[in-house]
Amino acid sequence: MNTIDMKKLLIVVGTRPNYIKITQFKRIAEHQFKNQFDIKIVHTGQHFDKAMADDFFTQLDIYPDYALHIPQSSANSQIGEIIIRLEEVINEFKPNMMIVPGDVNSTLAAALTANKMQIPLAHLESGLRSFDRTMPEEINRILVDEITDFYFVTEQSGVDNLIKEGKPEAQIHFVGNTMIDTLFHFEKTIVNQNLLSEYKVEKGNYILMTIHRPATVDNKKGLEDLLTLIQSLTINRRVIFPMHPRTLKNIKLNGLESAYNTIDNLVTAKPMDYFSFQNLIHNSALVLTDSGGIQEETTYKQIPCLTLRPNTERPSTIQIGSNTLLNFDQQKIHTMVEQVFSGQYKKGKVPKLWDGKATERILNVILNAL
């Protein structure tokens, strides 16, 4: 197949978590689909820190072909800027298909652009639903799936939701989880990181925490409740807490920085590179989080995960995996933590098709369709 016959795919990402979902596309296209795809990656810059981004791209050995450099601003302004700048990229590259992962503003903006420019659209993680329309991500998921042509689904709930919404079954493809492909590919590198001595912890003897959602960290009461929880957990356990920039900013704005800084057994850290954070997950006793992706990563690693949210768009992590959904109920949290450390917590399984081959399945579907 000569260059002119190659299928041109444009993948649009805007945040670090979504970048992790597309790391294997170029590698697999090169090694398993020789000369059949020309893949370009657009980084919108929705979340961007130059130092962190450079490390991130270097670690994962994948670099954006186009950078839109969207400035930090309101959601409306970001979406508008992405649409305008992405149109220029499309006019230059002329893709046969656009691929968008996840549920962030970049996902929605790229999907709208593809629709208006009549480019077939593929959505990674299609069909996930929390059924909580107060979450901006939920609105983005719903809107993107309304104009998607290829629904690439990570778990059975996604298939069920799309069918209930009346999407054509022939366009729904249960392929597995591309974020797990990244974990699978870099497993040896992740395991070989040496974070335990740096944080003075032993394998299986600490709690890893990530909290960043607005419902918890954008108000003083949420931050005070979190403070109380950490104070009680650290009486007997060491807690490692890499702080999201917004979490740290709000702790300072609400005058709680000294209270957090004086907790014995609490280790706060800046946002970490991918390998370091995955190594901490790998060696932890459990993870306390409000993140979506971490629910999946812990399920794949079969590490206990307590998700401090009233709902989740990833029910397989609860029904099959190692995740438990909890409201911010301190007593229930402590009960579950003790179950983990006493060996009584449930044993999760890895969901179907989370085997490191989702990207390959997606490219097969696209090759047969275009």
Decide: residue 227, CB within 10 A, 0-12 exposed, 13-18 middle, 19+ buried.
middle
Q: The domain that contains 161 carries what CATH number?
A: 3.40.50.2000
Catalytic residue selected from 173, 212, 244, 282: 212
Q: What is the pLDDT of residue 244?
A: 83
Pair (142, 241) in one structural domain: no
Clarify whether residues 153 and 27 are in a common domain: yes
Are residue 160 and residue 228 in the same domain, yes or no?
A: no
Question: Residue 230 domain-assigned?
Answer: yes
- Does a structural domain hold residue 348? no
Specify if 197 maps to a domain. yes
Reported pTM: 0.92
Same domain, 276 and 162: no
Task: Look at residue 318 and tell me if it is in a domain.
Answer: yes
Number of domains in the chain: 2
What is the C-alpha to C-alpha distance for residues 273 and 288, in angstroms, rounded to an integer?
A: 19
pLDDT, residue 59, reads 87
Could you tell me if residue 36 is inside a domain? yes
Whether 335 maps to a domain, the answer reads yes
Which residues form the domain of 158?
A: 3-176+354-369
- Same domain for 148 and 17, yes or no, is yes
Q: Checking phi first, is residue 200 left (phi over 0); if not, alpha (psi -120 to 50) or beta? A: left
| Element of type H or E holding 37 | strand 37-43
Reduce the DSSP state of residue 11 to 3 states and report it.
strand
Please give the pLDDT value at position 353: 98
- Answer yes or no: do 151 and 14 share one domain: yes
Q: In 3D, which of 124, 123, 118 has the Cα closest to residue 91? A: 118
Do 143 and 272 fall into the same domain?
Answer: no
Per-position pLDDT tens, the chain of length 370: 455 689 999 999 988 889 999 999 999 999 999 989 999 999 998 555 554 566 778 888 888 999 998 888 889 999 999 999 999 999 999 999 999 999 999 999 999 999 999 999 999 999 999 999 988 999 999 999 999 999 999 999 999 999 999 999 999 999 999 999 999 999 999 999 989 988 889 999 999 999 888 778 888 998 999 999 999 999 999 999 998 888 888 899 999 999 999 999 999 988 788 999 999 999 999 999 998 899 999 999 999 999 998 899 999 999 999 999 998 888 999 999 999 999 999 999 999 999 999 999 999 999 999 8
Domain identity same for 163 and 19: yes
Q: Do 65 and 130 sit in the same domain of this protein?
A: yes
Q: Is 123 a catalytic residue?
A: no
**Within this chain, do residues 230 and 151 fall inside the same structural domain, yes or no?**
no
Cβ neighbors of 97 (< 8 A, separation 6 or more) are 7, 8, 9, 10, 119, 120, 121, 122, 150, 366, 370
Say yes or no: 197 and 156 in one domain.
no
Does the residue 349 lie in any domain?
Answer: no
Query: What pLDDT shows up at residue 47?
Result: 57
Give the angle 356-361-367 at the CA atoms, nearest 5°. Answer: 145
Same domain for 280 and 314? yes
Predicted pLDDT of residue 66: 95
What's the pLDDT at 51? 46
